[in-house]
Structure 1
């Protein structure tokens, strides 16, 4: 894509589901949740440019919009436009951005511990919240996470985190028109429950599910619960689509 080799790890059989990682994260950090999801879906664990096995450039990606534009082009190139998207952390903000700016590129969103709140914290606040969350994450996630962060590098992560603090999601969220599920871990110190409630108010007809004991990396700490909520939600969306009632509200 745009001269850059783009990687996705594919597993499972069934309808497609694309997983979009968080800031500095890589496909190998999502083994546990992708294994559960692949029982019913063909899961594409996508590496954004400059992340994981995907190439980036010294000055690219520069912003969240760059990540969104690249993902939209990749979906079309791979024949995955209209596939549902599961975004974790910053990946949640990216899929919100995509659904608003490229409304034909996805059919449903699942956002796990998503950023993209109307009030975005400063880079310093983001870092402090992450430090508070780390002791609650699974120890076996530490090495894969450090490996992923070293691949992305501090310059890219700082550039995207800075853009995130300035990214105006307010107008975008009201333009998200596909069925949306928000997953909130009640032990997440990075994205607190009040931020998820704000997202719920901003996105028309969004559904919120709380994962008891879920940390910020709830895709790793509670993969079975995340997968079950996700698969049940997508099955309901697709059932409504087949019945010609795709715009139905999904009550909490």
Structure 2
């Protein structure tokens, strides 16, 4: 691991791990049992600091930057597919020493953790998917963009600045290619293979992910529950960090209590 001097003050808790020859970043905060946050398409760890602060009061939180996102290295030809994102996440869990941990994924990050749980069942004990993409199918890139444009006025102005920085860092080419791959990727057939408790969190004011999409995911996972945050936007992890953290921590406490009883 290394820690370069140019990391901004707000992420001085950064750690870097070599994964497949790529330096992979995670912002780490808090103490206790681990919890990993997986960002959405084009997003970066610095967009989830409000949520990390809330969760860090009870857990040791790792805000993971996927390859080519945030402070993590990528290659021009990698990653371009959803499976590559979940493959890298599984490898990072091993290389970082976490091995297995609960996952909280937002938007595309929610689709990634669902893919991870189905294909790498040894890597996680519980899932929290916030406004997840993937079921029954992802819309084409033009529709995704239109939905996102509808959501932008509903988000905090400060988040928009952080988001533009993150998107510029990832680059339009990678974002478009990953978005195109979402049309190909089918999460639906994988849902029945998910064997860990799953919480789906939806925002009532989210124009990007429709309520019926989240309900379809919930029906497909054997042990899934759902909750709607009133007033939550697509970036509900930023607009309502306390509510997301409360539901997440309560859910994990129940999961861990049930595990102790069994």
With normalisation by structure 2, the TM-score equals 0.92
Contact kept? 2:206, 2:234, Cα under 8 Å:
yes
For residues 141-195 of structure 1, give each alpha carbon's deviation from its aligned partner in whole angstroms, at most 9, with x where no partner exists. 1110000000000000011000011111121111111000000000000001111
For residues 180-213 of structure 1, give each alpha carbon's deviation from its aligned partner in whole angstroms, at most 9, with x where no partner exists. 0000000000001111111111111211010000
Separation (CA, whole Å) in 2 of partners of 1:202 and 1:119 = 13
**What displacement does 1:62 show?**
1.7
* Counterpart residue number, 2:55: 37
Alignment of 1:157-236 (within 5 A): 157-236=175-254
* Counterpart residue number, 1:68: 86
Separation (CA, whole Å) in 1 of partners of 2:237 and 2:116 = 21
SS at match of 1:111: strand
**What displacement does 1:81 show?**
2.1
The partner residue of 2:111 within 80, 89, 93 is: 93
Please say if 1:237 is aligned against 2:252.
Answer: no
Please say if 1:110 is aligned against 2:128.
Answer: yes
* Counterpart residue number, 1:21: 39
* Counterpart residue number, 1:250: none
* Counterpart residue number, 1:247: none
Separation (CA, whole Å) in 1 of partners of 2:62 and 2:188 = 29
Contact kept? 2:136, 2:188, Cα under 8 Å:
yes
Across the aligned residues of Structure 1 and Structure 2, the Cα RMSD in angstroms comes to 0.6
Gaps of 5+ in 1: 245-252
Separation (CA, whole Å) in 1 of partners of 2:134 and 2:52 = 23
Gaps of 5+ in 2: 1-18
For residues 114-150 of structure 1, give each alpha carbon's deviation from its aligned partner in whole angstroms, at most 9, with x where no partner exists. 0011121111111111011111111111110000000
* Larger mean Cα displacement after TM superposition, 131-140 or 230-239: 131-140
SS at match of 2:234: coil
The partner residue of 2:139 within 113, 121, 138 is: 121
Separation (CA, whole Å) in 1 of partners of 2:20 and 2:100 = 21
Contact kept? 2:55, 2:245, Cα under 8 Å:
yes
Q: Which runs of 4+ in 1 moved over 3 A?
A: none
With normalisation by structure 1, the TM-score equals 0.96
Contact kept? 2:38, 2:103, Cα under 8 Å:
yes
Report how many aligned residue pairs link the two structures: 244
